[in-house]
Amino acid sequence: MLAIPASIVPLILMVFFTHITVEDLLSVGVIPFVLSSAAVIGRVLLQAYRFKYFIRKFIGHDVSSFSATISARLGSEFVSQTTPSYIGGEIVRIAWLTRRGVPAGRAAWITTIEIISDVFVGTILGIISGVFAILNGGYLIGAIVILLSIPTLTFWFLLMFFSAKRNLKLPNLIEKIIERILRGERGQNLVTSTNRAITDLCQMSRENFTFSSPAIVKTFAIGIAITVVAFVLQGISFMVLVNAVGNGIPPISIFDSVMATSASTVLATLPITLGGSGLAELGIWAYVANLNSIPSLQDIVTDSHLSVIVVWRIASYHVPLIIMWIALMKLTINKDVVSLRKKSSKGNLSNPKETNRHSEGDSLGFNLGKPNNGKGQSSIRDD
């Protein structure tokens, strides 16, 4: 929860140390603000639907209800949005999947393919935005975005390539550190289970990265298409605000807006601040300002786009964050309720009547949404 006030600090500093007034922030209008927030919420919901889509296609069946799956994805996104480099949500999703009977390796595969989709689309758009920034005179911001995008794309491409060719494992140094911190059997079990999950992940890579099946190609194509639409919605969230303000600010096209928000996302992934706070605002400002050299503080504080950028950050980050937090709390509360039921059930095993009653309760839906149609298929669904 400390991440939320920490993310507000850059906005407060911008308001106090620049020419921005409350009237400037309110000049955007309620309707554009709502539309901007709705566009970003649509993006988050699309990512949640993609999560459910990948589960059904790669696991072979739904592991929980539609609403529970969407809620789990939204809750995990809160973790991602409040940590540096947007990491951490994957662990929540893996834990959620494994609690529903999905092997750890396959659960890791679902989150990995989500990351690959985001990285592929995000870095490609980032490189394109960097090229257009350079062509428009923004040499500095263009070069920075390109230099940040290429290593990220290269790393994940190499990870895909090697995981499909051989079984990977934890580096020996990491294993020794884990075993030293968690001495004895606990550390050894963690290393063994982690390596087993990585082996399963590599097996899934070999099964799917060959693209030998039309169904696999279709699944990847649909996942990428959903991701592209999500990035477009992020661009729309900025466009509606800029075009609503006026006050001498030239209107922006949807293409330029997507390029600006893509450049902002690339900068925000730097592991410096929580949720990219400050970096996202700086990135989008540098792009729309065609930054070609290191700016002075005066250049930043007098820019006419600042008020729109502050409002955009609130609409695209803080408003959706409230929804994500509610989903995470729901996920946490449900987990605690299920744990209490399990403990209560174990405590009454000596009473046959009580045991039978708890079994009936499980059949009524107290089973964490575990699938009741078997283990599913190891191959991808073709429907």
245 vs 210, higher pLDDT: 245
Please check whether residue 340 lies inside any domain of the structure.
yes
Please check whether residue 167 lies inside any domain of the structure.
yes
366 vs 218, higher pLDDT: 218
Q: What is the rounded distance in angstroms from the CA atom of residue 234 to the CA atom of residue 252?
A: 14
To the nearest whole number, what is the mean pLDDT of the chain? 79
CB 261 within 8 A of CB 284: yes
Q: What is the rounded distance in angstroms from the CA atom of residue 2 to the CA atom of residue 87?
A: 16
Helix (H, G, I), strand (E, B) or coil at 352: helix
* Residue 6: pLDDT band with limits 50, 70, 90: low
Please check whether residue 19 lies inside any domain of the structure.
yes
Q: Name the residue range of residue 317's domain.
A: 3-363
Please check whether residue 371 lies inside any domain of the structure.
no
pLDDT at 379 over 60: no
The whole model's pTM is what? 0.78
How many domains is the chain built from? Answer: 1
Dig out the tokens for 346 from the structure.
């174990």
Q: What is the rounded distance in angstroms from the CA atom of residue 281 to the CA atom of residue 303?
A: 13
85 conformational bin, left if phi > 0, alpha if psi -120 to 50, beta if neither: left
Mean pLDDT is highest, among 7-11, 195-199, 210-214, for: 195-199
pLDDT at 365 over 70: no
Please check whether residue 121 lies inside any domain of the structure.
yes
pLDDT at 248 over 70: no
pLDDT at 369 over 70: no
> Per residue in 49-89, pLDDT tens?
999 999 998 888 899 999 999 999 999 999 888 888 788 88
215 vs 12, higher pLDDT: 215
Please check whether residue 382 lies inside any domain of the structure.
no
Return the percentage of the chain with pLDDT > 70, whole number: 77
Please check whether residue 65 lies inside any domain of the structure.
yes
Please check whether residue 374 lies inside any domain of the structure.
no
* Residue 383: pLDDT band with limits 50, 70, 90: low
pLDDT at 18 over 70: no
